[in-house]
């Protein structure tokens, strides 16, 4: 009886190993959750396509909005599939890494600006991170980028408003795009395409419920050095 049990043990352990192997996700799984680096890589490809004339400003704006709404790598892949940099077999996430990835600053934690029954302000000379989250609940938040230092070329501001407001100011010569929505409120982002393709890009996303999000260029305020990180 002891001998038979010893013979059965290897057989019992084998199926368990097979089940573990099958459960391991594949690197090319389209259902894999997209990271911030994946989204930024796709955004860089779209920016280059705009500069080369492969995409119109409207097409670029639509795709950028979809990039920052994407939750999985499967949603990112179609956005660059018809572009030269997006036609590699490993399209997302491996092939969407920006060509200057080694010189770009590492993705850090998002900066949070919270206004609950009060106000919150970020202005003056400050270094803008890759992501800034602004939340206003019965309060107001102000983000002024007119004197800020852009550490990277693309910046995402996630604005969430409930019975409040978020006001964003940017220099005149910076590109501004919108990927947000208002529900019984307003999402007033004045989009702008900078003449210089190397100008920083500010993407405003989020939503406003019984409140408002506004973003527009401030006249007379221009970023002196358009090259991010210089």
Q: What is the pLDDT of residue 139?
A: 93
Higher pLDDT pick, 69 / 107: 69
Higher pLDDT pick, 72 / 219: 72
**pLDDT level of residue 56 (50, 70, 90 thresholds):** confident
- State the pairing for strand pair 131-137/111-116: parallel
Q: What is the pLDDT of residue 108?
A: 55
Beta strands in the chain (DSSP E): 111-116, 119-122, 127-128, 131-137, 140-144, 149-150, 154-162, 165-170, 175-183, 186-189, 201-209, 212-217
pLDDT digits (tens, 9 = 90+) for 164-218: 999 999 998 898 988 888 888 889 888 888 888 778 899 998 889 899 999 988 8
pLDDT, the chain, mean:
75
Q: Report the alpha-carbon distance of residue 133 to residue 127 in Å, rounded.
A: 15
Q: What is the pLDDT of residue 224?
A: 67
Q: 39 is written with which tokens?
A: 């989204």
CB-based contacts of 82, cutoff 8 Å, min separation 6: none
User: How many residues does the structure list for the chain?
Assistant: 230
pLDDT digits (tens, 9 = 90+) for 3-34: 444 444 444 444 433 333 333 333 457 788 88
- Least Cα distance to 218 among 190, 199, 197, 196 occurs for 190
Q: Name the least confident of 7-16, 53-62, 146-155.
A: 7-16
**pLDDT level of residue 87 (50, 70, 90 thresholds):** low
Q: What is the pLDDT of residue 43?
A: 79
Q: What is the pLDDT of residue 145?
A: 93
Q: What is the pLDDT of residue 109?
A: 66
Q: Report the alpha-carbon distance of residue 130 to residue 155 in Å, rounded.
A: 5
CB-based contacts of 160, cutoff 8 Å, min separation 6: 133, 134, 135, 136, 206, 207, 208
Do the beta carbons of residue 205 and residue 69 sit within 8 Å?
yes
**DSSP letter at 40?**
H
């Amino acid at each position: 009886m002891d001998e038979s049990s010893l013979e059965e043990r290897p057989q019992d352990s084998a199926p368990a190993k097979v089940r573990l192997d099958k459960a391991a996700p594949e690197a090319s799984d389209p259902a894999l959750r997209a990271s911030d680096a994946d989204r930024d890589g796709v955004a860089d490809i779209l920016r280059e396509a705009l500069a080369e004339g492969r995409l119109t400003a409207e097409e670029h704006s639509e795709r950028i909005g979809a990039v920052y709404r994407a939750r999985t790598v499967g949603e990112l892949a179609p956005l660059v599939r018809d572009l030269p940099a997006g036609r590699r077999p490993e399209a997302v996430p491996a092939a969407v890494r920006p060509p200057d990835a080694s010189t770009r600053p590492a993705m850090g934690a998002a900066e949070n600006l919270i206004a609950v029954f009060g106000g919150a302000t970020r202005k003056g000379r400050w270094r803008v991170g890759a992501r800034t989250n602004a939340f206003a609940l019965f309060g107001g938040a102000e983000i002024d980028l007119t004197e800020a230092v852009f550490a990277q070329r693309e910046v995402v501001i996630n604005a969430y408003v409930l019975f409040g407001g978020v006001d964003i100011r940017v220099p005149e010569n910076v590109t501004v795009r919108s990927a947000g929505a208002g529900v019984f409120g307003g999402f007033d982002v004045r989009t702008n395409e900078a003449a210089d393709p190397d100008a920083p890009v500010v993407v405003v996303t989020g939503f406003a419920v019984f409140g408002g999000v506004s973003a527009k260029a401030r006249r007379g305020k221009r970023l002196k050095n358009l090259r991010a990180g210089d």
